[in-house]
Each structure stands twice: as structure tokens, then as C-alpha cells.
């Protein structure tokens, strides 16, 4: 059913439709925004195992404050 879904003519058609909808001046901004979003998403995924729950962070801050006093 989905054989040959991404043939060059299909990709060309998508680009032409995008040009018609957004115009040539807006496409670089859209591409830049999409690229930034993808990079931020990848960073979030890569750092997700390093992120501590908020409750843990709060507990650590309380311990540091208690040590200072």
C-alpha cells in the first residue's frame, strides 16, 4: 500500500506546495525553527537519564542549606 512513498516526484510536490503556502521568504525561517526544535529534542532525550526528579533536587538543596548553618 505504501510502496514507493518517498519518490523524488513526491518530495518535489511537497516542496512546491510549501512554497505556495509559506512563500520563499518564510521557508528559511521555518527550516531554522524546525532544526532548532529537533536539536533541543535530541538534547532533552540525551540528558533525560541525567535529570533528577524535582523532589530529589529539593531534598539536596535542603541538605546543603542544613550543612551551611
Does CATH place domain 8-68 in 1.20.5?
yes
Q: Is 54 exposed, middle or buried (0-12, 13-18, 19+ CB in 10 A)?
A: exposed
At residue 8, the pLDDT reads: 83
At residue 40, the pLDDT reads: 92
pTM over 0.75: no
Q: What is the pLDDT of residues 16-45, one digit of tens each?
A: 998 899 888 888 898 899 899 999 999 988
Taken in order 51, 53, 54, 55, is the CA torsion positive or negative? negative
Q: What is the pLDDT of residues 43-67, one digit of tens each?
A: 988 876 555 555 555 666 666 666 6
Amino acid at each position: 500500500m505504501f510502496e514507493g512513498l518517498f519518490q523524488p516526484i513526491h518530495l518535489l510536490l511537497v516542496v512546491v506546495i510549501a512554497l505556495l503556502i509559506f512563500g520563499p521568504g518564510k521557508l528559511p525561517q521555518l527550516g531554522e525553527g524546525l532544526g532548532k526544535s529537533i536539536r533541543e529534542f535530541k538534547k532533552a532525550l540525551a540528558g533525560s537519564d541525567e535529570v533528577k526528579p524535582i523532589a530529589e533536587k529539593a531534598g539536596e538543596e535542603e541538605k546543603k542549606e542544613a550543612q551551611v548553618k
